[in-house]
Amino acid sequence: MIPINYILKPLITIFLFALWGCSFTAEISSVGIILDDSRHETQIENPNTSDEDNPKTLKFSFKSNHKSDVKNRVLFENQSWSLTGYCQSQKGQVVISGDIDQPIKVDCINNTFAVTINYTQYTPYFINIRGLSRYIRASQADLYDETIIYKANSSRGSPIFIYNKEQFLSMDLSNDNILAKDIDFLDVGQTNTNNFKPIFAMNSWSFTGALEGDNHFLLNLQLRTTDENVCLFPFINGGVIKNLTLQEVEFSSLNNSKSTSKLSGLVCTAIGLKPFYLENILIQGKLFSDNEFSTVGGLIAESYQGEIKKVVVQLLITGNAKDVGGVIGKAENTFMENLFSKSNINIDNSNQESIGGLIGTIKSSSLLKSSVINSFFWGTIEGTQNIGGLVGSLKSNNSLIQSSFAISSIQLARNTSGGPIIGNKENFLIDLNQSFYLAEGSCSNCTNSFGTPLEEESFKSKKTYKDWDFKYIWRLDEGNSFPYIENH
């Protein structure tokens, strides 16, 4: 099975290559990382695929094209999908791969190709995975194109298509929802104000359905409140969120003397009798906490039993807080793979418990393991204690950090527990399988060196990253850059 690695729409490739290639400095602009994108309301288009009338192209056509309205790309049980496109006859067969049972080869005749993909059972068919989206890739010699087809289930009803802010904030929490266009939450002339209320914040219900972003943007979400949950989704319970970008997020959790709070770019609390599932998400912006008892995470504040795959976080996180993670504040019984955080974290709190470049506190039960696999942090962390380049504190046995890397500048306020990989593991055991930190990175007042140091040269070689997917997920300019997640 080829993972769902469809286009992360923002140009993550602009990760300031001049910085990637130079000697490590841990400074990131205080205003965060600005994504250059003037393509709202469009999908990323392969530079090899341009005009449908141009025979020198490889491009999905008609309803199969990724620019087709999302309503045209939905498949139900009693149907099959006619996948069509333009190709270049002299280049030979077209290979169709992605979320189907096996790759198939299709003849290119008169500069066109066509193949039928079944809903299930009969080859070729769309495989069963979490959520509706099925990634499909066509390749021919040096050309390729990509699209998403949505495999719906009539037992859940027809998917709901979201075109504006009002529809988004009133989405059906138990249904399948598909974002049909970019949504800008900043009204004309409106600045530095609350422009939405967290979804379902007025009741105790959780999001149990699915949100398929179709690689669209949610832009300029702003929220300043003393409420307990400061995020887009206060609760998800077994829900699915995929293929979504949140850009220019500005969330502030203001002082609340009555209770703790949770602050996050997307989800405050993720739980699930059926594990929740998040994939292919990018969050960029700023988080500020003025509550010394808050839990802060770039993607999720507190995570209990779920899966998270292919996430990019570019955030400036500041203020007071208790547990802070670049991606997750507290993670318990959670599987995490292909996380990339390029962030600045600066917490000023004498009661601060833990800060991690990826995870603030990690915990596993005797039956379920929390795992961080094939992940990367690059940035600065300042705080009081239990600071780690990847994980701040370990709170149990049975957790795993595998083939993960930290390039960090860590500043502890005093000589307390801290390290380039893990801040404090107390007496608990953890499997640090092939996890490394930059030897030239700084770790002021740190007390441990768990993990393995590597020179900068090794960080710029694909050979260092065992079992990383440099075809569909990660990119690295051999000898010149550190790894990064790229749109493709």
**What residues does 254 pair with on adjacent strands?**
none
Per-residue pLDDT at 345: 97
How high does pLDDT run on average in the chain?
Answer: 85
Q: 215, 43 in Cβ contact below 8 A?
A: yes
Sequence-distant (6+) residues with CB within 8 A of 248 are 219, 220, 221, 284, 285
pLDDT tens for residues 456-487? 999 999 999 999 999 889 999 999 999 999 75
Q: Rounded to whole angstroms, how far apart are CA atoms 226 and 213?
A: 29
Identify the bridge partners of residue 248 per DSSP, sorted by sequence position.
Answer: none
pLDDT at 197 (0 to 100): 73
Q: Which residues contact residue 173 at a Cβ distance below 8 angstroms, ignoring those fewer than 6 apart? A: 199, 200, 205, 206, 207, 208, 209
Is residue 318 over pLDDT 70? Answer: yes
pLDDT tens per residue across span 367-399? 888 999 999 999 999 998 999 999 999 988 888
190: confidence class by pLDDT, cuts 50, 70, 90: low
The predicted pLDDT at position 51 comes to 42
The per-residue pLDDT for range 265-292, each reduced to its tens digit, is 999 999 877 889 999 999 999 999 998 8
The least confident of 27-31, 205-209, 378-382 is: 27-31
Buried residues in 320-349 as b, exposed as e (16+ CB within 10 A): bbbbbbbbbbbbbbbbbbbbbbbbbbbbeb
Question: Which pLDDT value is given to residue 260?
Answer: 82
pLDDT at residue 41 tops 70: no
Those residues whose C-beta lies under 8 Å from the C-beta of residue 281, and which sit 6 or more positions away, are 213, 241, 242, 243, 244, 245, 246, 266, 299, 310, 311, 312
| Percent of the chain scoring above 70 in pLDDT | 85
Bridge partners of residue 465, in order along the sequence: none
For the domain spanning 160-482, the CATH number is: 2.160.20
- Secondary-structure breakdown of the chain: helix, strand, coil percentages, each rounded to the nearest 5: 5, 45, 50
Are 236 and 198 in contact, with CB atoms under 8 Å apart? no
Quick check: 49 pLDDT over 50? no
Residue 154: pLDDT band (50, 70, 90) is confident
Domain locations in the chain?
40-138, 160-482
pLDDT tens sequence across 256-272: 655 789 999 999 999 87
pLDDT tens-digit readout, 335-356: 999 999 999 999 987 778 899 9
State residue 191's pLDDT score.
57
Give the span between the Cα atoms of 381 and 481, in whole angstroms. 22
Q: What is the rounded average pLDDT of the residues 62-86?
A: 94
Cα 190 to Cα 426: distance, rounded to the nearest angstrom: 48
The yes/no answer on whether domain 40-138 falls in CATH 2.40.230 is no
Question: Under a CB-based contact definition with an 8 Å cutoff, are residues 20 and 115 in contact?
Answer: no
- Point out which residues pair with 137 in neighbouring strands: 97, 146
Question: What secondary structure letter does DSSP report for 13?
Answer: G
CA pair distance 364, 331, nearest whole angstrom: 8
Query: Degrees (nearest 5) of the Cα angle 404, 474, 332?
Result: 40
How confident is residue 306, by pLDDT bands cut at 50, 70 and 90? very high
Contacts of 190 (CB under 8 A, 6+ apart): none
Say if residue 39's pLDDT is above 60: no
Nearest residue to 169 via CA among 183, 149, 187, 153: 183
What is the C-alpha to C-alpha distance for residues 430 and 399, in angstroms, rounded to an integer?
A: 5
Contact 409, 381 (CB under 8 A): yes
